[in-house]
Amino acid sequence: MKFNRYPFIMNIITTQKLKDISSQEQVIFVDARGGADAFERYKAAHLEHALFADLETDLSEKGENAANGGRHPLPEPGAFSAFLGKLGIAPSSTVVVYDDKKGANAAARFWWMLKAAGHENVYVLSGGLDALKAADFPITQEIPGSPAETNYPLTEWKLPTVDMNHISEISTDPDFMVIDVREHYRYIGESEPIDLVAGHIPGAVNIAYTSNLDESGEFKSVEALREMYKSAIADRKIENVIVHCGSGVTACHTLLALSEAGFDGAGLYVGSWSEWSRNDKPIAIGNN
C-alpha cells in the first residue's frame, strides 16, 4: 500500500494524519495481536495489505516456567531479526503498527521491540483497528502475499531492560520509580485474573495504562501526557524509571506514552508481575 510521506515527529499516528499525507512513500503495515485466537481474529478483519505479527510466537519466546522471565519473555534479538526479514522490513522502512486493543497491547510491544532494534520510523496507530474501521480504511479478510525478504541486522536490544534482581534492589528507593501499569484492582490485590498471586511489588506506584487514553480510547494529546508524567516523575532521572505490567506487554503502552511525552530512557521490566509473583518475592497489598 502506497502512502504519501508525512513529516512524522512522534511515535503515535492518527487516522487523520494518514489521510493527510501528501507525497507518496511505501509504508509497511503490521497487524499485531495476542491470544490463542490471534490469527483467526486477524483473518476475520484486518487492514488491506497489513502483515500479521503474533504476540505469542513472534514477539515472545515462551519457556516452560513463567517464573523464569515471565509469561512473555523477549525473543533473542536474532529471532526477531529473522522475523523482521520475513515481513520485508529493512532499517530504512516506515512501519505503522496497530492491534485490535486500540494500540494498548501487541502493537505497543511491537513498537518497543522495533525501537529496541534501533529502528527509527515506526509508529503506533491510535485507536487501532476500531479507528481504521471508523475512518473507512479498507478492511479485508484477504491474506496478503509474502513480501520480499530483507536482512535486518540485530544482535542486541538497544533500549534499557531490567531484571528481577535490579527491581529487588531499587523498588523502595525514592530516587527510583517503579510504575505498575495494571488496572488498579489488580495493583491493590483485590483480585488477580491472570497470575497466581494478587498484589504488587513493594514501592511500585500504580499509573494504569488506561490513564494514557481519552474517553474514546485513543491516546491523549502530547501535552496531556507530558503534564501527567512530568508530575508523576517529579525530579527523578528518567533512567531511574522502570515500567512493568503483568508480563511485559502492556508496559510498552506506557513506554510509548512516555516517549510521546518526551520522556525517553525509562526501562522495561520484561518479566513483570508474572515473574515477580512466582519467585517468593515480597508482595504488597492495598495502596501502599
Q: Give me the residue spans of the domains in the chain.
A: 2-140, 161-276
Q: Write down the pTM of the prediction.
A: 0.94
- Beta bridge pairs of residue 124: 12, 97
- The per-residue pLDDT for 25 is 63
Across 10-32, average pLDDT: 78
Task: Pick the more confident residue, 17 or 201.
Answer: 201
Confidence of residue 20 (pLDDT cuts 50, 70, 90): low
Q: Which residue has the cell 496531556?
A: 224
Is pLDDT of 267 > 60? yes
User: Is 245 marked active-site?
Assistant: yes
pLDDT tens string 188-201: 999 999 999 999 99
Whether 45 contacts 27, CB under 8 Å: no
Could you check whether 2-140 and 161-276 share the same CATH topology? yes
**H-type helices in the chain, by residue range?**
15-19, 38-44, 77-86, 106-116, 128-134, 164-170, 184-187, 222-233, 251-260, 272-276
Burial 227-244 (b: 16+ CB within 10 A, else e): ebbeebbeeeebebbbbb
Whether 115 contacts 159, CB under 8 Å: yes
CATH class of the domain at 161-276: alpha beta
Return the CA Rg of the chain.
18
Across 15-30, average pLDDT: 72
**Angle between helix 106-116 and helix 251-260 axes, rounded to 10 deg:** 60
What mean pLDDT, rounded, does the chain reach? 93
Catalytic residue among 245, 252, 261, 268: 245
Please give the CATH architecture assigned to the domain spanning 2-140: 3-Layer(aba) Sandwich (3.40)
Confidence of residue 6 (pLDDT cuts 50, 70, 90): very low
